[in-house]
Amino acid sequence: MADDSSSGFGWFLAGLGIGALVGVLYAPKSGRETRDDLTAQAADAKVKASQIVDQSKDQINDYVDKGRDYYEKGRTQWSQYVDKGKDFLAEQQDKVAGAVNAGKQAYQEESDPTHV
């Protein structure tokens, strides 16, 4: 879709330039005035193109900055989830180890013949 809109915009600009050129060529002016007008219009077009390029660069830089922010935010959240998972596993491991030790101790107490 981006190709269609940029292609359409390119054709629009081409048509605009051709229309301006035809209008200037058929205007009732002398050759010198026509050339001066064409030069002025070319300079204006160059300035406008430069402005569009600068705006595009700024917009791209904004998108890149936003992308970096989202990446960092996601990375931070992922790290937090990993840390929570590690803590949960350590806690469960401690509980299982405690239960195993309690089972061993209970077994030893029950299997000890001196224990009544």
Digit-coded pLDDT (tens) for 58-83: 999 999 999 999 999 999 999 999 99
What is each CA distance from 36 to 30, 39, 48, 80, in whole angstroms?
A: 10, 5, 18, 66
For 8-64, the pLDDT digits (tens) are 777 888 888 888 778 767 767 677 887 888 889 889 988 998 899 999 999 999 999
Q: pLDDT class for 5, splitting at 50, 70, 90? A: low
Alpha-carbon gap, residue 38 to 19, rounded angstroms: 12
For 87, the token pair is 């803590």
